[in-house]
Amino acid sequence: MLSALRRATPTCKRYRDGSVGVEEFANFYVGTLSARPIATWGPLRQTFLDSVVVPRIPDAARALVARHLDAGDLVVLTTATHRFLTELTAAHFGIVPLIATEPDMAHGEFTGSTRGTLNMREGKVARLHHWLPERGQRLEQFHSTAYSDSMNLDSAVGRARVGCWGRVRSRRDNAAGSCLQDGARTPGASSVAQSGA
């Protein structure tokens, strides 16, 4: 465990200062999964959800997601974090559609790399625009609202009305606080997406 932390520290620093690419960053973290058989990760993943993730979810965020689900909105969790880690978070919220960075698998085990388009930065928009047609839908059919903790808020959500939950530092204004951006709106069904990259 300590060796993984030692390897992660320089990668995190390089990501923060912009000297590591998103593919290298994503593959580094997904690569840590290949160190163990997938069966051993299940209990650790659940412990991580229960002890780290769930305590950090604000009650207001739970209420907001519940309100959209109760209204019959299409609620999608889209995240840069890989699916294996985030699928329990989506389930915790009761969100079925999850668009996440995909770890590559072979023979039921992690290969140590990602597959397909990373769900990071511009990839979030590309993945959303690919996912909707698979469902027989287009973004233009929705009045979209997105809630984010993302530093890449503008590129991640495009046309949506955007609200940030929690304290977010935005590159746009470089100030902590909430942000709201109105984009083009079209009539139709409602959609909400939570985005973090």
Q: How far apart are CA 86 and CA 81, in angstroms?
A: 7
Domain count, the chain: 1
Instruction: Give the residue among 103, 127, 138 at the shortest CA–CA distance from 195.
Output: 127
Domain with 37 in it: what CATH number? 3.40.50.1000
What's the pLDDT at 115? 95
The series of mean pLDDT values per 10 residues for the chain, 197 residues long, is: 62 79 84 88 93 91 90 89 93 93 94 92 86 87 72 49 39 31 28 38
H or E segment at 105?
Answer: strand 98-106
CA-CA-CA-CA dihedral for 159, 165, 166, 168, to nearest 10? 0
Please name the amino acid found at residue 123.
G
Give which of 147, 157, 153, 159 is closest to 183, Cα–Cα. Answer: 159
Confidence at residue 116, expressed as pLDDT on a 0 to 100 scale: 94
Q: How many CA atoms lie within 13 A of 6 on its CB side?
A: 3
pTM of full prediction above 0.85: no
Per-residue confidence (pLDDT) for residue 103, from 0 to 100: 94
Give the span between the Cα atoms of 8 and 55, in whole angstroms: 24
Domain containing 166: what range? 2-196
Which contacts qualify for 161-165: CB closer than 8 Å, 24 or more apart?
A: 161/185, 165/58, 165/60, 165/61, 165/64
Instruction: Say what the pLDDT of residue 149 is.
Output: 59
Q: What angle do CA 29, 45, 166 make, to 5 degrees?
A: 75
Report pLDDT for 169. 30
Region of residue 94 (phi > 0: left; psi between -120 and 50: alpha; otherwise: beta): left
* Residues forming beta bridges with residue 52, ordered by sequence position: none
Give the pLDDT score at 150: 60
**Helix 38-48 / helix 83-93 crossing angle, nearest 10 deg:** 40
CA distance 76 to 134: 14
Inter-residue contact 142 to 185 (CB < 8 Å) = no
